[in-house]
Structure formats: C-alpha cells, structure tokens
Amino acid sequence: MKAKLYDLMNWAEIEGIVYSEEDRPGNILGNKLVGNAILFQAFFPDAKKVTLILEDKNKRVAMDVADEEGFFAATVAGKKAGNYSYEVITKEGKKEVRKDPYGYAVTVGAEELELFQAGINYGVYKTFGSHLKEINGIKGVQFTIWAPNAIRVSVISDFNDWDGRRTMMNRVGDSDVFTLFVPGIDASVEYQYELKAKDGRISVFNDPYAAREVTKERTVSKVYVEDSFTWDDSKWIADRKLSEDDFRVYAWEETKEKNAARLAKQLKEQGFNHVSLPAFYLSSNFYQMVDYFTSENDVKTFVNEMHKAGIGVIFNWNASCCYALHRKQVSNFFISNVLYWIEEFHMDGLIFSELESLLYLDYGKAPGQWIPNQYGGNENLDGIEFVKHTNSILTTRNKEIILLADIDAIWPKVTAPMEQGGLGFHYRYDTAFTRDLIGYLTTEPQNRPAIHGKITSRMGYAYNEKFVMAFPAKVVHDLWDMIPGEETEKFSTIKAAFAYLSFLPGKILSGFEVPKKWENEYGALVKKCHELNSKTDILGKEDYNDSNFSWINCFQQKECTVSFLRKDANEEGSLLVVVNFANDEKPEFKIGVPYEGKYLPIFDTEEKIFGGNRTLKKEAFFTEDTAWDGYAQNINVSMAPLSVNVYRFVPFTEEEIYAIAEQKAAKIREQLLEEAKAKVELLKKIKGIK
C-alpha cells in the first residue's frame, strides 16, 4: 500500500468493519473528500482483487488491499465521485461488478423518526421495511429497520451470499433505527436481517414490515411493491356512512364461495350489508406474528367487488399477537398495521379478535407467570392504552368505520365512549350467549328444559353493551352434525335459532351454511329476517333501547318456549315473538298479551318458502278476555315444532270496537236471560212444593 494511502487509513474503524461490529459503516466505506482527492473504501471479504470503475470518467483504478480480510482502498484526484462501481474478482476466480451501497446518503427524516420514537408515526410502514427507490438515476431498494440493543444490523441475501459482514446498515442518529440503500437490486430480491447484539450473539430474523415467503432453503422476506391495483369503489367510499342501527354481517371463510362478485351478489340478495374477513385470509401467517404488511391483490379485489355491490368489509385483527406494548415503537408498529389495512385496503372496519389477551396481564398464564401492574391489579395498562390509542386514531382519521370487540371476558364499558371511561368500540361480541345457545341447540329436545336459562339469561345484561351475537362463528364448524334429530329437524332448529337471534335486541354476525338442497330456502329466511329488521324501526333502530323489550313468558321450561314483545311507544306496530324449541307441535297455545286488539301473523319459520310445510295465516288473532301470563287478555295460536312465529299488533278499529261491544252485550244479555230463566224455574219449583 502506498504511504500516502496508508496515512489515510483509520485502522480502528477498519477493525470495526472487519469484525462486523460497526453501526455506522457509511462513515468509513463509500467515498469521501480528503484534500484534493477522493478516498474510496470498500469491504469485500470474498474478494481477491477489486478494481474501482469510475463510470463518468470511463476510468479504472486498481484498489489496494488495506486488510487481508477484504478491506480495499484507493484515492482518485478530484472533488466529486460521480457514478462508480467495483469490479470484484472473488477468491474462487469469479468476476462480478457491484454497486456501492455506501455511495448514497440515505436516512430517515428527523420528524418522521421523532414521531416513530413517540409512537405516533401512523404511516411508518411507508418508510420502514424494504421499498423500491431510485437515486440519481440508479434503481435499488432502501431497507429500514428498528433494532434495539443491536451493535450491528446487516441485510443478507443472494446478492451478498447471505453474508452479514458485507452489507451492514447505518444507524440513524442516536436512535435504534438502521437504514441502507442497496443499488442494483429489484423487487425479486429475497432477504433477511442479521443482527449482532451487544453480547456478541448473532441472530437472523425476517423483516416485520414485509411479507414473508417460505422457500426450500429458508424463510425469507419479500420487498414491498406498491401495486398498480385499480380501485373502482369511489362511490362507495364517498357515500359510506356509519350506521349503528342497520348492521347485518356475514362471517365469510376462505373455504366458502371464492368468487367475490358472486358472493357479493348473494349477500346483497340476502340482505347483508357487511362481510367480515378472517385473519388468515389477510395473511396465512398472521397468527405467527409475520406477514402483517402483505400486499396481495386478491384481498383488494375482494374488497372492491364487495364495495361495488354495496357491501362493507370488516377484517379480523388478532390482538393476541401484540407484545412489548410498553415500547412506543412497538405499539406504533401495530397501530400502523391496523391503519394499513383500513387505509390501503379500503376496509370499513375491524374486529379486535382475542381482545382479552390485551386487557389482562394474567390471561392464559398460570400463577407466577405474570407480574401485577403498578397498582397491584391484573389489568394490562399498556394494552388498555394501546386499544384506546388505536380506536381514537382510527375514528379520527376514518370517521365512517366500525369497530368490534371480540372479547370473552367480563370487562365493563367496552362500547362506551372513551370520554366516559370506555374503550370506544361500536359493538362487542356476546360470546357467552353464543356458547349458551350452541349448547342449548346441541342438546336433545327432551333435555332442554333443564338448561332453559341458556336461551333467556342474556336479557339480564343485554343493555350493558351494544352486543353482536355470532351465529355460530368462532364456536364450532360442525354444528349441523351436533344438532340432534333428522335432517329436517336440524334444518328447522337452525332456522328457529337464526330467527330467534334476529328478533332479540342486538345485531347478528352469521355465517352458517346449510346443506345445498336447502340453500335457497335458508337464504330466503335470512333475507326475510334482515328485511324485517331493516324496515321495522322497533327492531334495528331500537336494539339498544331497554324500554323496547319485555318478556311475555320466559319460564316455560317444560314446553321449551319463550315469548316476548318488541314494543312500539304507541303500542301499534309492536311485535309479539313466540319461539318453540320443542320438537312437538303446539296446536292451541295461549299467550298473554298486554294490548287488546289484533295480532297479525307476519312471519313463520316453517312457511313453505322457508322449506317448511305451513302457509302463513292471513287472518289476525283477536284477543280474548281471559287473563294469561300476567296480562288481562290472550291469544290462542298454533306453533309448529322447532319454529318461530311473529305477530304485529294492530288496535281494533272503531267499527270493530262497537261490533265487539255488541257481541259482548249480546253475550251478557243472553247470559242474563239464561240466569233469569233459571231463577223463574227455581221459583216455580218452590211454589209447586208449597
């Protein structure tokens, strides 16, 4: 090595490069001005010979070996390096031309970094990870990663033989963020990160901001590519309005109809206005805490088709994957991921799945496996803050989205506003009732009286939250096989259960499928239930008004029946719902009613159109003046086995009131005459005796 070049060498820094312990390799490698010359330094541990190619000057300069481990250097007269590359002859004799990653001064903006450190860089996925970039006409990929406790982070890939010594990243300021622009590579690159910790341990990990792919050799990360998907849902987005009154959700699974346009048409016909996507549809690896930022177009295609049909899309986001939320950078990652799916994929809402794992420190843990919070409780304060932060920013940036809490725990005020101490969700799953209902339906009818409370107990807490009842999502996938009875009895049971949920206060998330031969009939029933809910104010709009519901009789255990009223403030239009979960017909079944008048049949799950064998009675049932169920009058109805019947209350007309009065008067007159005759006959007998 020439003496002048030797004097320019910083041997301590070179040692840091050679031993791969340098967190700012860009300060050493690359090019820098030294007096009237430019010093080029490069590290190629696989190289035998390196030649500097000055592309703008069409000049080649042989580089000196500064360290036998692969550190090369050269000086060139001038003030500007221009475009250059290295010709490397490896120790195996292979010749390659390589661009210099350290010839490009890339970094992360100070404001962007500050927001990330504070946990409020909501678009962080646009910077972190790997992104195609062009600098001075040179295309490549910029890699950015947060790696606390690392003394060195490297990109490893085929382009550097998966050698962590060759492409070390630059630390950004005093942060734990590392970045590097690698020129000459494209989106086909598969990569990982290699991290060297302070204790000297070396680990390899995938990029949390990238999608991953499993290859024969290893599991790799893929470069994020901004796709060219063309959205066709501008009208939907512009007209989208949050409605907590009209919310009918279909729980779609990947195993079901895969043609998005056909599914959208089916859902529209059946009266659904939202569809929920399972977490595994967004990413098959979501539960393994990878692939958070996949960019697959099939999800966008699905959402686009749903929106064109007027169907909103809600996705499941698995909260159990969250960890280390006390670190702002980690919570920022997860919040940005939720926003990514909402904003980049045009989603209309999300379901926080397994929310209890975020709220409780001891969830799923044995004694001794968790540490109480600072107040001695088991509440996860960081998790609670994360949920509130996420919901707050979501509803601030996207006012017309819907937030559901999937929580299987006793936690108060889940759907209360945050300013009232709540978590700020619009709805919460009623998981307890779903379990109870499934348990009831899968029990033999003759044994159901003993567990009658399973279908009535929810009304003791139904107004504590804005509940969504899942049927039978998240419980069992083989419900059909578990329900007792022949196929027709199973089908009647499913219809009765769906109808029962439809007329109880609350919303429904349903995704149950019946055998193909009954698809049309079941679809017709679902459509009718949805139609009644959307067009009848006392159902959908009054679901969370506790004065809207009252039991008629919820204690008929032996009969396996319940009856209740969805009440209109003016009485007229109130709905009487009668449910028979017994497997026997009830041809004359008295039901007490609070209003004197007529009860017009409007729905029967066993109508022929729904696969039954009954015809809906067109004549109304007139109340009878016989006390029943605690009311002054009753009606006498007929119920099929395993069925739900709904009647609309209509007051008597003036003519009917007079006609009924005349009938009553006639009966009274006839009764009085009979009594008079009896008295006369008695009197005659008495006189005769005398």
Query: pLDDT tens digits for 493-528?
Result: 999 999 999 999 999 999 888 889 999 999 999 999
Distance CA 190, CA 222 (A): 5
The answer to whether 218 touches 205, Cβ cutoff 8 Å, is no
Distance CA 604, CA 624 (A): 22
For the record, the structure tokens of 636 come out as 């006498």
What pLDDT sits at residue 513?
A: 81
What sections of 399-462 are H helices per DSSP?
431-441
Residue 157 C-alpha from the chain's centroid: 34
Mind giving me the DSSP string for 517-571? GGHHHHHHHHHHHHHHHHH-TTTGGGTT-TTSEEEEEEEETTTTEEEEEE--TTS
Distance CA 358, CA 335 (A): 14
What pLDDT sits at residue 298?
A: 82
Query: pLDDT tens digits for 448-460?
Result: 999 999 999 999 9
CA 415, 419, 421, 424: dihedral to nearest 10 degrees? 30
Q: Which helix (H) or strand (E) holds 112?
A: helix 110-118
User: Does the pLDDT of residue 286 top 60, yes or no?
Assistant: no
**What pTM value is reported for the model?**
0.90
User: Does the pLDDT of residue 552 top 60, yes or no?
Assistant: yes
Give the Cα-Cα-Cα angle 488, 504, 413 (nearest 5 degrees): 135
What pLDDT sits at residue 53?
A: 97
For the record, the structure tokens of 164 come out as 């962590």
Question: Which CATH superfamily is 243-429 part of?
Answer: Glycosidases (3.20.20.80)
Core vs surface per residue 142-153: b (16+ CB within 10 A) or e: bbbbbbeebbbb
The answer to whether 563 touches 616, Cβ cutoff 8 Å, is no
Distance CA 458, CA 580 (A): 18
What pLDDT sits at residue 284?
A: 47
Q: What percent of the chain has pLDDT over 90?
A: 79
We find that the CATH architecture of domain 432-464+483-505+515-650 is Sandwich (2.60)
User: What are the φ/ψ torsions at residue 382 (nearest 5 degrees)?
Assistant: -70, -40
4 CB-near residues (< 8 Å, 6+ apart): 75
Tell me which residue of 392, 343, 330, 339 sits closest to 118, measured CA to CA.
330
User: Does the pLDDT of residue 226 top 90, yes or no?
Assistant: no
Q: Hey, CA dihedral for 151, 156, 162, 165, is it positive or negative?
A: negative
Distance CA 335, CA 355 (A): 14
Residue range 110-222 in CATH 3.30.70.1290:
no
Q: Radius of gyration of the chain from Cα atoms?
A: 36
Mean pLDDT computed over every residue of the chain: 92
Query: pLDDT tens digits for 556-603?
Result: 999 999 999 999 999 999 999 999 999 999 999 999 999 999 999 999
Indicate the pLDDT class of residue 476, thresholds 50, 70 and 90: very low
Arithmetic mean of pLDDT, 318-345: 93
Tell me which residue of 164, 191, 167, 187 sits closest to 179, measured CA to CA.
167
Query: pLDDT tens digits for 22-34?
Result: 999 999 999 999 9
In single-letter form, the type of residue at position 622 comes to F
In single-letter form, the type of residue at position 68 comes to E
User: Does the pLDDT of residue 475 top 50, yes or no?
Assistant: no
Query: pLDDT tens digits for 638-690?
Result: 999 999 999 999 999 888 888 888 888 998 899 999 989 998 888 888 877 65
Under CATH, which number does the domain 3-100 receive? 2.60.40.10
What pLDDT sits at residue 279?
A: 72
What pLDDT sits at residue 471?
A: 85
Q: Hey, CA dihedral for 417, 459, 602, 611, is it positive or negative?
A: positive
Which DSSP letter does residue 623 get? Answer: P
